[in-house]
Amino acid sequence: MALHRDAAGAVEHGRALGALRPRLPGWQLHDQVRSQRAVRGGRARVWVPRLRSAASPIRRPRRLGDLCHRSAQSIRLGPRVDRTSSGPADLGAGPARWQTPPGPWPTLCGMPCLVVHGGAGTPPAAERQERQDAVERALDAGWKEMRLGALEAVLAAVRCMEDEPSLNAAVGACLNRDGEIELDAGVMEGTQLRAGAVGAVKDVRHPVDLAHAILRDGQHVLLCGEGASRFAREHAVETCDPVLFITDRQLRNWWDAADTVGAVAHDERGRTAVAVSTGGTYRKWPGRLGDSPLVGAGFYAEDGMGVACGTGIGEGFMRLCLCHLAVVEMGHGMPSTEVAQKAVQHLARRVGGLGGMIMIDSSGRPAAAWNSEFMAWSQRIG
């Protein structure tokens, strides 16, 4: 909320957010200069007055920066970071309001950072601790690979969560309206912007491994359906009988079906990476792809700017290209904590979307925010 805290912050964010420009000096002047030039140049065949009719009002672009005021919406900021160990998520106690944002932060460029989430949704209260424990195990698994780099860390974390029956990815994924499982996954590294993703695969043991194989292959970015399974078989990625993925959780908790698992990392060399995996939404149309296999919608990474991934009803993320927008805003200098809050608020207000996001900005600051009832997540820096 630096926007309203001090003048320096306001100027900084004004640069990044087009919506704020009309309030800043110089904009109106420049507009006039351009209009005058148009007339002098003899090209002004039409002239539209600056003030338009009510039937055709001037619409300013709605960016994340428009959403900077606080509201009573059920959006919470995650726990304070513990730099030596992972921090447990807020498990739903207390009022659903903003908590005090952490910070100000020192620059953390040289420190590795890993953030993992197990999905935003409305699971039964009895299952929340189980999900949180699964996320902690994934954080441990990812952290062990952090010395190899950000990409290896996020792959290990997501692969671990794909084996957790309490989470909606691979084993334990939710069913589509035909009673089948169709899995989506994606992975991206921010140095060369290489990405790989799969959608609607039925028989790949670890969809995130197939996404990684597509990334390494480099010819395509997104494969779906039977073609993706064929790619897996020809590139020695493990396949399996789809019955392996089905547990009794899908029937018990059929209403909680919009969660994804994901991880974002920023290693000590400043490289960023993100990986996601999901079974999608409950009773989805066969062949439906959500945001998880889509670069920019469900995940995005670019070194020097930031890395983000989302969870929730994927269609909202797709329509807003929300992870790409978050990374662009972080690249423009907005801290990750602020971007995360505003992004989920933007999701709710612009398209009525539910979900959560985790992200790390180019300074290595992690953040998480969600507007659903619960999100299991954890982070580690050090």
Q: Pick out residues in 133-172 that bind its own copies (CB under 8 A).
A: none
- For residue 227 the two structure tokens come to 């073609």
CB of 372 to its own copies, least distance (A): 19
Contacts to its own copies from residues 3-62, by CB under 8 A: 6, 8-9, 11-12, 14-18, 21, 24, 26-27, 29-30, 33-35, 37-38, 41, 43-48, 52, 55-56, 58-62
Q: Contacting its own copies (CB under 8 A), which of 77, 114, 181, 222?
A: 222
Q: Which residue, 48 or 243, has its beta carbon nearer to its own copies? A: 48
Which of the residues are catalytic?
260
Contacts with 161 (C-beta within 8 Å, 6 or more apart), sequence order: 116, 118, 134, 135, 138, 167, 169, 261, 277
Interaction between residue 225 and its own copies (CB under 8 A): yes
Contact string (CB under 8 A) for its own copies, positions 74-113, x = contact: ---------x-------------------xxxxxxxxx--
Taking CA atoms, 145 is separated from 194, 238, 243, 300, 351, in Å, by 20, 21, 30, 20, 37
My answer on whether omega of the bond before 104 falls inside 30° of 0, hence cis, is yes
CB of 157 to its own copies, least distance (A): 22
CB of 160 to its own copies, least distance (A): 26
Q: CA-CA distance, 380 to 382, in Å (whole number)?
A: 7
Taking CA atoms, 113 is separated from 87, 100, 357, 361, 364, in Å, by 13, 22, 16, 10, 7
Comparing CA positions, the residue from 292, 86, 317, 251 lying closest to residue 169 is 292
Q: Contacting its own copies (CB under 8 A), which of 292, 345, 362, 378?
A: 362
Contacts to its own copies from residues 284-343, by CB under 8 A: 284-289, 294-297, 300, 302-305, 314-315, 318-321, 324-325, 328, 331-333
Element (H, E) at 213: helix 207-217
Q: Which residue, 195 or 263, has its beta carbon nearer to its own copies? A: 195
**Site residue total, its own copies (CB under 8 A):** 99
Q: Which residue, 84 or 248, has its beta carbon nearer to its own copies? A: 84
Contact between residue 298 and residue 324 where contact means Cβ atoms under 8 Å apart: no
Comparing CA positions, the residue from 96, 138, 125, 127 lying closest to residue 379 is 138
Q: Which residue, 132 or 336, has its beta carbon nearer to its own copies? A: 336
